[in-house]
């Protein structure tokens, strides 16, 4: 009689712990900015995992054509050798965020000291191009008490998202665009990847639809900080 109840409780606890770690919006371990607090018809584009020498320049061309600024959460090791591209990103008004240096799937399991060293190594690369303290976004959005402690000790604001595109796993970019457009609402922070080959086409669809609905695009870190 008691075994099924105990099993149910343990399963519930396990599910909660998985949710708390895997869903950055849960805020259980780490309070992250996952939506802009506004009723204005504004949305923010964020890109993870770059810079990519092929796709990122195409994205920048599109954003420049529309006059839109975005926030790029850069992976430190991918910044090596991309100095001209990174300088272009900053010169054109985009933000650079800290997405760790290694972007390791094992990052949440590292010791605190190693975790902080990796985050600081990425920030050092970013500091070559901008003096603004970068926002932090953990790899895959996974959090736990150690990630939270590392972010707090380094003085980072953490940014998540409230619209996940799944652009890295879905092959048809039109279906990805439909999913994002269906969720369009004031204050959205949209997660995209500048490593996705079809991103230029996807980006055009997202921007076109949002503007048809009367929305404008803002840079998440600046809008959150009180400037646009």
Contact (Cβ atoms closer than 8 angstroms) between residue 53 and residue 203: no
| DSSP-derived secondary structure letter, 74 | E
Integer Cα distance of 164 and 166 in angstroms: 6
Which is catalytic among the residues 48, 118, 167, 194? 48
193 is catalytic: yes
The token duo for 27 is 């805020």
> Which whole-number Å values give the CA distances from 59 to 50, 84, 104, in the listed order?
11, 15, 25
Which is catalytic among the residues 94, 99, 193, 221? 193
Contact (Cβ atoms closer than 8 angstroms) between residue 52 and residue 81: no
48 is catalytic: yes
The catalytic site residues sit at: 48, 193
């Amino acid at each position: 009689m008691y075994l099924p109840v105990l099993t149910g409780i343990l399963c519930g606890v396990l599910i909660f712990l998985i949710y708390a770690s895997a869903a950055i919006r849960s805020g259980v371990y780490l309070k992250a900015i996952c939506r802009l607090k506004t009723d204005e018809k504004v949305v923010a584009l964020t890109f993870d995992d770059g810079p990519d020498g092929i796709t990122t320049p195409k994205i920048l061309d599109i954003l420049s054509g529309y006059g839109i600024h975005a926030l790029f959460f850069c992976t430190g090791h991918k910044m090596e050798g991309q100095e001209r591209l990174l300088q272009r990103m900053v010169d054109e008004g985009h933000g650079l965020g800290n997405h760790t240096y290694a972007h390791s799937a094992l990052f949440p399991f590292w010791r605190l000291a190693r975790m902080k060293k990796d985050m600081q190594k990425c920030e050092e690369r970013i500091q070559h191009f901008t003096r603004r303290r970068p926002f932090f976004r953990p790899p895959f959005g996974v959090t736990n008490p150690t990630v939270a402690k590392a972010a707090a000790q380094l003085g980072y604001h953490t940014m998540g998202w409230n619209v996940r595109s799944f652009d890295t796993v879905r092959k048809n970019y039109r279906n990805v665009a439909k999913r994002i457009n269906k969720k369009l609402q004031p204050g959205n922070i949209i997660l995209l990847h500048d490593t996705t080959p079809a991103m230029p086409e996807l980006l055009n669809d997202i921007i076109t639809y949002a503007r048809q609905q009367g929305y404008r695009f803002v840079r998440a870190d600046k809008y959150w900080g009180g400037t646009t």
